Amino acid sequence: MNQNAAPADAGLLVARATEMIKAGRFGAARPIVAALQRLIPGTADAALLAAKIAIQDGRPADARRLLDDAIDAAPENTELRKARAEVLTELGQLPEAAMDAAEAVICDHTDPAAKALLGYALLRLGQAEQAVLCFKDALGGAPKNPAVYPGLAAAEEACSRPEAASLALAAGIAAVPGDVGLRNAAILLQAKQRNFASALSLAEAARRDGVVDACLFCLYAHSLSSLGRHDEAAWAYAEALKLGPEDEYVRHMVAASGVRPNSPRAPAGYVRAVFDGYADRFEAHLISLGYRVPGLIRAGVIDHMPSLVQQHESCSARIGPVLDLGCGTGLVAVACSDLRIGPLVGIDLSARMLACAGNKQLYAELHEADVMDALQSDTREYRLVLAADVLCYFGALEDVLARVYARLAPGGLFLFTVEQLESSAAGWMLRAQGRYAHAQAYVNVASVEAGFQIRELRAESLRQEAGAPVPGWFVVLERPGPEGAK
Ligand SMILES: C[S@@+](CC[C@H](N)C(=O)[O-])C[C@H]1O[C@@H](n2cnc3c(N)ncnc32)[C@H](O)[C@@H]1O
């Protein structure tokens, strides 16, 4: 790269770097973008490209800084506003993201991508009716953009209009028949409503139209098995595995179907895919299911640590630090926010769940990590570790119990929930929904073998599903030691 190249050459370089980034060739684009930052510093083109690289490298805060400077210099540049809206969304700063998306629409009211971005921002802010209007407007200008239809469908769903959501996806499929994402979204929507016959006919139509995809086969298999057609489902799961042998989502769903032997835990890639895609709806959905686990954890902390849990401001004693494994969007922190516990350290695999937790400003630290890795790399001692509705993504509990034990101070407590497995013949079982259930005897033995004393192991309803309570175990373990935790 000739650093003395005249700025006239910059246009060519911008076009090349843009193409490379579009094609996912970030390594090749990197030196060109670095050169552009020297050649045309502070310009919108250089900032946009450098921000894309920063996002790819997992440095959203750097991307934001680059875009802030560029927007200061060119506040009406639509591309910069759209890019910053995406970065702010990634950082969980949703109102600011919506402001940038709205500015982009104001700067160029013919830009469908800006309108779609505004739609997604409003949807995440819970303003679903306005989001519907934005998506419809965006589709008016770009009816063949497959990324807009799922947004419209999600917004219609959030407005409790499942029919309209199905129609939106059907319109998307008619406009872009080869788009796998739209096909899968349409099938998933029917499966979520337990319309397995419709899900199956959509999957069959996709196959007839020549759409070949591992996820599609998984959904096809799930519909078949839900309709009792188990042999065909087994075949379809095997096909899914052939198409996506390394895809952790596919592998886990195939394992959950019973076609492959149970793996001892849900793979990180599966958990990330599920919860990154679920983060926006997580809290509203769980509230609608009467989710009880954060409340059970709060009551457990009060019952088992009465002298440390002072609700009175004048008392300075705190339990902290407290580890919240699989903290998700931070519901446990909300439930315990008036208790004198903390500072809270949250661990989760899903960046999007963590962004929601970050918005609550209740955690001193949030780490994007697997709980197994975090428990190993963190060398601090905790008096309280919590895992609300997280160990249902682990089958075998021995390793995780051993790692929690190692992190606990003598007398420290571990509070968690798991889903109930009625038959005690097997210690744990992966169920078709992709979550594990555990037998009481197994939880008992695994806890004692890890060195814990069992303070409590009792049956509790965790939430409602299909109109019935989901039974679970609420567990309080103590690492024995000279000091009690009272
Ligand atoms: C059902 S949510 C519960 C979230 C939160 N504890 C609550 O009660 O609201 C499960 C969370 O555990 C996280 N999770 C599951 N397995 C994990 C693992 N191995 N490491 C880190 N996080 C995990 C998921 O990403 C998700 O956010």
Express each pLDDT in 457-472 by its tens digit: 999 999 988 778 999 9
> C-alpha distances in angstroms, 85 versus 42, 64, 310?
19, 9, 42
pLDDT at 259: 56
321 & 251 share domain: no
pLDDT tens across 272-281, in order? 888 887 888 7
Q: Is residue 438 part of a domain?
A: yes
pLDDT tens across 24-42, in order? 899 999 999 999 988 898 8
pTM comes to 0.67
Hey, which of 349, 394, 416 would you mutate to test ligand 1's pocket, going by the most ligand atoms within 8 Å of its Cβ?
Answer: 349
244 & 351 share domain: no
Q: Is residue 380 part of a domain?
A: yes
354 & 304 share domain: yes
| CA pair distance 345, 363, nearest whole angstrom | 6
Q: Residue 4 pLDDT more than 50? A: no
| CA pair distance 187, 166, nearest whole angstrom | 9
Q: How far does residue 375's CA lie from ligand 1's centre (Å)?
A: 14
Q: Is residue 405 part of a domain?
A: yes
Pocket of ligand 1 (CB under 6 A): 271, 275, 293-294, 326-328, 331-332, 347-350, 353, 370-371, 388-390, 393
396 & 429 share domain: yes
Q: How far does residue 329's CA lie from ligand 1's centre (Å)?
A: 9
CATH number for the domain harbouring residue 227: 1.25.40.10
| Over residues 11-34, mean pLDDT | 92
Q: How far does residue 356's CA lie from ligand 1's centre (Å)?
A: 13
Domains of the chain: total: 2
pLDDT at 279: 87
Q: Is residue 44 part of a domain?
A: no
311 & 417 share domain: yes
- Range with the largest mean pLDDT of 51-65, 245-259, 398-412: 398-412
Q: Considering 205, 227, 261, which residue would you say is the last residue of a domain?
A: 261
353 & 218 share domain: no
- The string over 119-143, giving b where at least 16 C-beta atoms fall within 10 Å of a residue's C-beta and e elsewhere, is bbbbbbeebbebbbbbbebbbebbe
The H or E element that residue 386 is part of is strand 382-387
Q: How far does residue 403's CA lie from ligand 1's centre (Å)?
A: 17
363 & 425 share domain: yes
289 & 380 share domain: yes
| Over residues 87-109, mean pLDDT | 91
294 & 414 share domain: yes
CATH number for the domain harbouring residue 417: 3.40.50.150
**Encoded tokens for 210:** 């020549």
Is residue 59 classed as helix, strand or coil in its secondary structure?
coil
- Residue 242 CB burial class (10 angstroms; 0-12, 13-18, ≥19): exposed
Look at residues 379, 483, 470 and name the one whose alpha carbon lies nearest to residue 421: 470
Peptide bond into 245 cis (omega under 30): no
Q: Is residue 360 part of a domain?
A: yes
Q: Which domain holds residue 233?
A: 182-261
- Beta-carbon contacts of 253 under 8 Å, excluding residues fewer than 6 positions away, are 218, 222, 237, 240, 270, 434
pLDDT tens across 211-264, in order? 999 999 999 998 988 887 877 888 888 888 888 888 888 888 887 776 555 678
446 & 312 share domain: yes
Q: Considering 230, 261, 292, which residue would you say is the last residue of a domain?
A: 261
Q: Is residue 136 part of a domain?
A: no
334 & 399 share domain: yes
pLDDT more than 70, % of the chain: 93
Hey, which of 252, 270, 271 would you mutate to test ligand 1's pocket, going by the most ligand atoms within 8 Å of its Cβ?
Answer: 271
Q: Considering 229, 261, 293, which residue would you say is the last residue of a domain?
A: 261
Instruction: Give the residue with greater pLDDT, 415 vs 218.
Output: 415
* Residue whose CA lies nearest to ligand 1 atom number 1: 389
364 & 398 share domain: yes
Q: Is residue 196 part of a domain?
A: yes
